[in-house]
């Protein structure tokens, strides 16, 4: 085999802008693929013709290695960046090439009549086409024809095989099949055939390489011209674009075909864009990339979430800091972390670069979790989220509207963004609670009854998308809804005074009365609606926390204070939390349980604590509580846990709030205790926005065995690879301060598992990587006398 000439390494004078999250790689070529660590890209230099090129990406520069022929490019690279394939066109022939990190470029068997387009994730197989000659009715003597081809890149020497052709040669000699893309394991192939690549097939191979099944992909009705571009790593989704007019695709419409939908074409959302193309799909990242044209005839890089791709398209620059303008988003690394982009920088210089998808400007990673800024409604002020779903996918609340002087309820999802529950400009509404699945929202809204505007309890259902007046003729406000959606509680004015109420379909409206005083309010309800908590005035006019039980009635929790409030209750109705005025005048947090009774949880000495600005809420098991203390000069949103007590959320997330952003309050926590919502100052846009915190509960209880080790040691985690959790063991022979930290492949802290003084012993702890991407991670044990690092692999 002829050894290709290899140019020496060349240095590209690129200094990356620290503000931009795009690393510009080449100004005079293009990129086709990127390794999982974002350090090796493949493509071409010299924009006029192109030369097959490997790019090596460093923090502040780029070097490259290429093969010195024109009209060519490297097209695909393995996950580890050590093997790549591609080809070039020279003197009326096409040549397929492979590049190995340790040996450079080499011709592939079948050249000079072959082309390589794709490679498996492990770099063991290359795919493309090669030519063969056959007779056909139009040309009985010979006809040069493309045939699907696979190369075994691990063999020595490299071998070439022809794969099964899923369709017979057509009578017009027009079937031209090329393997355009493959799944990560090389078992599912995307084949393009015929003139103009209209003939699209997905082919699945058996383990021995023989044909298992194949399907043809067609455009939607009215779109006879179709082009497929990419298949997902798991082989279940194909994306591309179609056109209703001609094969030049001047009016492209983005489309996807999914195995779960029997490979039927689905048109992707493109409003408000005129035209759009889908270029790549990645199920690890859950996105589709592409480009779209604005009404102003400007192309912009866009992404679709796979789950809502037919409903909403998003502009990449809305989520990432870019020092220019991105025109298109293309190939995504197999682990879903990096994407190739094309655009211009702040100096209006065109080029191709790499974007790190984990660096969303509104979604920041911390050692303790992740922060997502959700934004706000136009003209809103003092926006207040009041509930978050169990999986963190839905948030609701209300905000003041500066334009109309009213309050507006909102609902946020990743698909829709933050939108109002109803569009009426001059009618008030407040969303106060939501079912854990995010499908039912309750609160207070102004409705027209005759010619009057009145305040009523409302229910919003995702099936109708409208506010329903639940209690006509009764002035009322809903504060909570049971998790099963059957029961709503709040307060109403049935006879002039404010009284706690309970409502469900079976019992109807119930006035829960008071503890002998004038007023009461219900603030929370158990999952089945049988237990309600809140506050009521007693006969002396004092405010008392109460617990109401169906069949028993309202009971004073018996807290020895003139002022106490019950703000939340566990799903089983047995645990209640709230706050009460302590003897020194400040407010303390409390927890009450049917078995153990009242527990004073105290408060943190952050300053002059006088009131709870926001009533505390708890996770279902009562182990985590969030709320907000007013302190001298401001407020402190907190998380309380039994192990750590009161934690200032601004301190907890200080590693990602170093840009001047501040969390102002904490108003709700998901039932599983994983998500917290509140209001904060977002320094990026200079506004108060809703935030969503996803807590990084990476550890379980630190377990200690009876073994007393004689030396320090850090053992290999097990299992490894793991998904999603693994166990880490280590030995501590003497009392000392211990730190156990997890890092990603770039050396960034992902989680601090242990950070305290430990007694001698053998310890083990569980690390949960549910929120992390596939890849290599490192964990380091560090003491005053010992440091060791081990590698572990997350493989979902």
Lowest mean pLDDT among 275-284, 707-716, 754-763: 754-763
Checking if the pLDDT of 500 tops 50, the result is yes
pLDDT band of residue 451 (cuts 50, 70, 90) is: confident
Please give the Cα distance from 218 to 456 (Å, whole number): 52
pLDDT band of residue 1 (cuts 50, 70, 90) is: very low
Best CA proximity match to 446, nearest among 466, 419, 475, 418: 475
Q: CA dihedral defined by 271, 274, 279, 285, rounded to 10 degrees?
A: -20
Between 561 and 643, name the one with better pLDDT.
Answer: 561
Provide the pLDDT for residue 171: 44
The first and second tokens of residue 497, run together, are 């005074």
Provide the pLDDT for residue 367: 57
The 3-state DSSP class for residue 355 equals strand
Provide the pLDDT for residue 15: 32
Checking if the pLDDT of 732 tops 80, the result is yes
pLDDT band of residue 723 (cuts 50, 70, 90) is: confident
Percent of the chain with pLDDT over 90: 52
Q: CA dihedral defined by 241, 243, 247, 250, rounded to 10 degrees?
A: -90
What does each C-alpha distance from 675 to 105, 139, 778 come to in angstroms? Answer: 50, 68, 26
The first and second tokens of residue 44, run together, are 């071409």
Checking if the pLDDT of 135 tops 80, the result is no
Provide the pLDDT for residue 90: 63
Provide the pLDDT for residue 19: 38
Provide the pLDDT for residue 415: 67
Please give the Cα distance from 260 to 255 (Å, whole number): 15
Q: What is the DSSP string of 371-387?
A: EEEEE--TTEEEEEEEE
CB 605 within 8 A of CB 631: no
- Segment of 17-31, 297-311, 411-425, 754-768 carrying the highest mean pLDDT: 297-311
What does each C-alpha distance from 258 to 227, 252, 264, 400 come to in angstroms? Answer: 15, 19, 7, 43
pLDDT in tens, 70-89: 678 899 999 999 999 998 87
Between 224 and 522, name the one with better pLDDT.
Answer: 522
Mean pLDDT of the chain: 85
Please give the Cα distance from 122 to 108 (Å, whole number): 18
Provide the pLDDT for residue 754: 81
pLDDT in tens, 189-239: 998 875 445 679 999 999 888 889 999 999 999 998 899 999 999 999 999
Q: Which residue ranges form the domains of the chain, and what is each CATH number?
A: 229-357 (2.120.10.30), 369-695 (2.130.10.10), 703-794 (2.60.40.1930)
Environment class of residue 174 by beta-carbon count within 10 Å: exposed (0-12), middle (13-18) or buried (19+)? Answer: middle
Percent of the chain with pLDDT over 70: 87
Provide the pLDDT for residue 69: 63
Checking if the pLDDT of 376 tops 80, the result is yes
Please give the Cα distance from 4 to 127 (Å, whole number): 20
What letter does residue 38 receive in the DSSP assignment?
S
Between 498 and 753, name the one with better pLDDT.
Answer: 498
Provide the pLDDT for residue 165: 62
């Amino acid at each position: 085999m002829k050894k290709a000439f290899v140019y020496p390494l060349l240095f590209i004078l690129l200094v990356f802008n620290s503000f931009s999250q795009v690393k510009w790689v080449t100004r005079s070529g293009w990129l086709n693929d990127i390794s999982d660590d974002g350090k090796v890209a493949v493509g071409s230099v010299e924009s006029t013709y192109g030369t097959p090129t490997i790019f090596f990406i460093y923090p502040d520069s780029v070097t490259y290695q290429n093969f010195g022929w024109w009209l060519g490019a490297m097209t695909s690279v393995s996950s580890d960046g050590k093997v790549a394939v591609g080809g070039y066109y020279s003197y009326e022939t096409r040549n397929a090439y492979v590049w190995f990190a340790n040996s450079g470029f080499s011709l592939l068997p079948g050249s000079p009549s072959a082309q390589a387009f794709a490679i498996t994730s492990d770099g063991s197989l290359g795919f493309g086409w090669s030519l063969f000659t056959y007779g056909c009715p139009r040309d009985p003597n010979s006809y040069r024809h493309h045939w699907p081809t696979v190369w075994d890149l691990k063999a020595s020497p490299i071998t070439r095989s022809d794969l099964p052709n899923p369709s017979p040669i057509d009578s017009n000699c027009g079937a031209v099949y090329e393997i355009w893309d493959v799944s990560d394991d090389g078992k599912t192939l995307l084949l393009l055939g015929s003139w103009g690549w209209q003939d699209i097939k997905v082919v699945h191979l058996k383990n021995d390489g023989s044909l298992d099944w194949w399907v043809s992909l067609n455009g939607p009705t009215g779109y006879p011209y179709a082009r497929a571009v990419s298949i997902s790593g798991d082989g279940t989704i194909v994306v591309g674009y179609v056109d209703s007019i001609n094969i030049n695709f001047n009016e492209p419409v983005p489309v996807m075909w999914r195995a779960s939908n029997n490979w039927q074409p689905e048109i992707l959302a493109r409003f408000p864009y005129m035209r759009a193309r889908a270029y790549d799909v990645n199920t690890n990242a859950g996105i589709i990339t592409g480009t779209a044209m604005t009404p102003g005839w400007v192309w912009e890089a866009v992404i679709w979430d796979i789950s809502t791709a037919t409903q909403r398209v998003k502009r990449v620059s809305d989520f990432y800091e870019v020092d220019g303008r991105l025109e298109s988003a293309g190939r995504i690394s197999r682990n879903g972390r990096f994407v190739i982009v094309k655009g211009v920088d702040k100096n209006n210089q065109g080029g191709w670069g790499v974007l790190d998808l984990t660096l969303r400007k509104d979604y920041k990673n911390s050692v303790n979790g992740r922060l997502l800024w959700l934004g706000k409604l136009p003209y809103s002020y003092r926006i207040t989220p009041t509930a978050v779903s169990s999986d963190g996918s839905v948030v609701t609340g209300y905000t003041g509207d500066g334009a109309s002087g009213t309050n507006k309820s909102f609902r946020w999802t990743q698909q829709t963004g933050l939108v109002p529950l109803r569009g009426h400009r001059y009618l008030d509404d407040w969303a106060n609670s939501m079912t854990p699945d995010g499908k039912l929202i309750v609160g207070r809204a102004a409705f027209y009854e005759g010619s009057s505007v009145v305040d009523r309890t409302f229910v919003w259902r995702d099936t109708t998308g409208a506010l329903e007046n639940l209690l006509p003729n009764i002035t009322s406000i809903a504060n909570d809804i049971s998790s099963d959606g059957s029961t709503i509680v709040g307060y109403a004015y049935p006879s002039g005074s404010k009284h706690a109420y309970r409502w469900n379909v079976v019992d109807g409206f119930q006035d829960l009365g008071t503890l002998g005083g004038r007023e009461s309010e219900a603030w929370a309800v158990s999952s089945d609606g049988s237990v309600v908590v809140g506050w009521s005035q007693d006969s002396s006019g004092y405010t008392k926390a109460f617990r109401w039980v169906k069949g028993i009635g309202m009971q004073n929790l018996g807290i020895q204070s003139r002022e106490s409030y019950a703000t939340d209750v566990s799903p089983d109705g047995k645990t209640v939390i709230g706050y009460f005025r302590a003897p020194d005048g400040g407010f303390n947090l409390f927890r009450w349980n049917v078995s153990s009774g009242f527990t004073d949880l105290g408060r943190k000495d952050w300053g002059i604590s006088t009131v709870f600005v926001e009533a505390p809420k708890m996770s279902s098991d009562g182990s985590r509580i969030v709320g907000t203390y007013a302190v001298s000069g401001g407020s402190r949103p907190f998380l309380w846990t039994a192990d750590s007590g009161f934690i200032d959320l601004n301190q907890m997330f200080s590693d990602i709030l170093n840009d001047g952003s501040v969390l102002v309050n904490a108003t709700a926590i998901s039932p599983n205790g994983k998500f917290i919502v509140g209001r904060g100052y977002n320094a990026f846009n200079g506004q108060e926005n809703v935030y969503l915190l996803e807590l990084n509960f990476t550890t379980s209880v630190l377990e200690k065995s009876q073994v007393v080790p004689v030396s320090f040691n850090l053992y290999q985690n097990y299992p490894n690879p793991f998904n999603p959790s693994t166990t880490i063991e280590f030995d501590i022979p003497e009392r000392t301060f211990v730190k156990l930290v997890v890092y990603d492949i770039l050396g960034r802290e992902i989680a601090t598992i242990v950070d305290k003084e430990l007694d001698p012993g053998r310890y083990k702890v569980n690390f949960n990587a549910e929120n992390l991407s596939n890849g290599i991670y490192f964990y380091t044990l560090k003491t005053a006398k010992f440091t060791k690092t081990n590698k572990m692999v997350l493989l979902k």
